[in-house]
Amino acid sequence: MYDYASILFSGKCNSKCPTCIGKYSEFVGIPENLDLKELRGLEKFVRKAKEEGIKYISLSGINADPQQYQFGRELIQTLRESLPDADLSIHTNGRNILRKLDEFNSYDRATLSFPSFNSNSYRKIMGTEQIDIGNIVKSSIIPIKLSMLLTEYNQEEVRDYIRQSKKLGINRIAIRKLVDKEDEIEVLEEEISTKQIFGNPIYQIDDVEVTIWNYSDSEVKGLYLFPDGSLRDSFRNQP
């Protein structure tokens, strides 16, 4: 039934993204969990993941970064012991990677939110100064996929983004369209997709795999542990 399972974090984020989905009204008032050693609902999350045979576990955030969680190493160990056959992944903005490098490299893979190689565009989209992407990639011993949130500030940078990613040795990119605004910016419309994943087109450009991720049309099915301890089959409230 499920393609993956995700543990979600909430709190005061170390980025200030103007378009953060955590600012949507449906997430207002969600409790924080960055300083909870015993995450609400973790036991039932693990039990459900075992029952469903889920092999891919992601740590991500609603309005905070998972590497802000104070007990990351302990959580990784718990998941390794409880779900030994599962791949563990982190979706992070990267601001704590170099400070918590051992923890970061304890995952099996990572998706790094990095909207632009242009420092000005990055600042407008993330609300903070650009991270040291080169040093992060050099220091990582796990595969990194870059996630480029597509906005009016970086829409003309897509080709250059792909080129610079390839120079770093990155061979997988997800270009994410803004939630609820997916039709506002077209991207790579002249390209022909080679395949799809969960209804999203995948392109091979200069030996880089580029996925255009449209959340509203995506067919991915996830199991989500929310910060309040609830288990949900959808990240967002269903209409």
Give me the residue spans of the domains in the chain.
Answer: 4-232
- On the question of pLDDT at 77 being above 90, the answer is yes
- On the question of pLDDT at 85 being above 60, the answer is yes
- On the question of pLDDT at 184 being above 90, the answer is no
- Residues 34-52: what's their mean pLDDT? 98
Under 8 Å CB-to-CB from 138, ≥6 apart: which residues? none
Say which residue, 17 or 215, is predicted with more confidence: 17
- On the question of pLDDT at 121 being above 70, the answer is yes
Q: Which superfamily is assigned to 4-232 in CATH?
A: Aldolase class I (3.20.20.70)
pLDDT for res 238: 52
- On the question of pLDDT at 236 being above 90, the answer is no
Q: What is the DSSP letter of 68?
A: G
CA–CA dist 238, 207 (Å, integer) = 37
Tokens of 187: 């991207």
3 neighbors 198 (Cβ within 8 angstroms): yes
pLDDT for res 8: 98
Tokens of 36: 């909870």
% of the chain exceeding 70 in pLDDT:
99
CA–CA dist 185, 66 (Å, integer) = 29
pLDDT for res 83: 97
